[in-house]
Structure 1
């Protein structure tokens, strides 16, 4: 009987823990990942607080959403590049990281008047990346916990490709929109030039080709439109001029090294 109880005790100790105690252990062991999840959730909450201003100042919520995104990007950069060095190689490595791009994005629009469209890519990235880690946290609590949340997470993951395409479309659309903001007096003269550098980094991204693919789809659409027989010649010339101008601005694509 004594051997049997000792065996059961050992099996219980070796079995994976579930519940709030297991969640607590998981948080203590994965502090950075949980902090990333928390900053993304804050980005989502602050975006809703801006769109539905029930409590507090919506403008404060807008800038807090951008700052939460900046915190997420900084933490992700710490994961990807833990050692900081003052060298050209470090700077080149930094600029190819997607998290650096969106840290840059947040800093650009922290000094621009609130624009709802700016929060869209920030919000969508927060939803997409927090959903996958939320599933990990729910698994820690137990397989059958929070089935409603699991359903929402599965819907987000199922639509991940469309979400990334929408983010890419918003990134591109914001380029001419920043020019329009100057005429509205809501952005500085340098904002479009700074944003162009951000968009160039997104175009050349090694890990996320959606912005580059969206530019290609736009080009095909415009070329098909320009090739229509009934289109007036001045419109055809204007479309081809836009295509050629945009193509000249496109940065070179770095070769992806196989690791």
Structure 2
């Protein structure tokens, strides 16, 4: 009880205001830089959807470049020491930040598509919201109450946002094939994106893509088992499940069995 009281007293005695915010920014340069780049990502995405300033294509590229910068900084935080070893490369490709660095590089060379920016912007919103709360606490408990309410709403919906991100990651796989047919992407785009999706499936810290694959499979199987469904559609649905299962990583297939 006394420990809790002393901790609360220390939090109350901790200096607040602009001077405290300045000291916090100096002491946490990389975290503040990440927050600033994520906010820039969101702003550029808004200007892409509503092209008030500048060229929409340039703004689209700025969103992906900002995401690449965020991913690179996060990789620097997670793996500060670089070494050209098999173990380091395995650790590098296992990081979620590396996945989204690859994601930005894939779609930088593809014609702009709003769907591509959705996972980037949602991740930027989630992470910037949590750190915005830290910055607001540094300013003081009663600062920017409207922003605090918005942050609370975002954190309340964090699970649904992560599910939407994983669903978009999956949908983008056939979407890249569609982009080729429209002449808006290169022939290698789906193959490179497939490797990105495999890494997302195998992610150690984010199980949402794996869970979304399972949810979609169950929903498609339930749909295929409906008695009034035409036979040709039922066969097409089962074929889609079979192909997707064969494309799943070996480790994932073993875990499922």
* Corresponding residue of 1:184: 182
Query: C-alpha displacement at 1:254, in angstroms?
Result: 10
* Corresponding residue of 2:39: 41
Aligned residue for 1:174, secondary structure, equals helix
Structure 1 residues 210 and 235, CA gap change in structure 2 (3 angstroms): same
Q: CA RMSD in A?
A: 1.7
Does residue 245 of structure 1 match 2:236? no
Task: Provide structure 2 residue ranges, at least 5 long, that are not aligned to the other structure.
Answer: 1-8
Does residue 124 of structure 1 match 2:130? no
Which 4+ residue blocks in structure 1 deviate beyond 3 angstroms? none
Deviates more, 1:234-243 or 1:65-74: 234-243
Number of aligned residue pairs: give it: 244
Does residue 24 of structure 1 match 2:10? no
Structure possessing the higher radius of gyration over alpha carbons:
1
* Corresponding residue of 1:7: none
Tell me the distance in 1 between the aligned counterparts of 2:125 and 2:253. Answer: 29
Structure 1 residues 254 and 148, CA gap change in structure 2 (3 angstroms): farther
* Corresponding residue of 1:6: none
* Corresponding residue of 2:167: 169
* Corresponding residue of 2:154: 156
Tell me the distance in 1 between the aligned counterparts of 2:223 and 2:130. Answer: 40
Structure 1 residues 65 and 93, CA gap change in structure 2 (3 angstroms): same
* Corresponding residue of 1:99: 97
CA contact (8 A) 1:204 1:254 kept: no
User: TM-score, structure 2 length as denominator?
Assistant: 0.92
Tell me the distance in 1 between the aligned counterparts of 2:221 and 2:121. Answer: 32
* Corresponding residue of 1:236: 234
Tell me the distance in 2 between the aligned counterparts of 1:52 and 1:234. Answer: 42
Aligned residue for 1:109, secondary structure, equals helix
Query: C-alpha displacement at 1:231, in angstroms?
Result: 2.0
CA contact (8 A) 1:73 1:99 kept: yes
Tell me the distance in 2 between the aligned counterparts of 1:59 and 1:241. Answer: 38
Tell me the distance in 2 between the aligned counterparts of 1:80 and 1:253. Answer: 25
Task: Provide structure 1 residue ranges, at least 5 long, that are not aligned to the other structure.
Answer: 1-10
Query: C-alpha displacement at 1:233, in angstroms?
Result: 2.4
Tell me the distance in 2 between the aligned counterparts of 1:28 and 1:180. Answer: 47
User: TM-score, structure 1 length as denominator?
Assistant: 0.91
* Corresponding residue of 2:70: 72
Does residue 111 of structure 1 match 2:109? yes
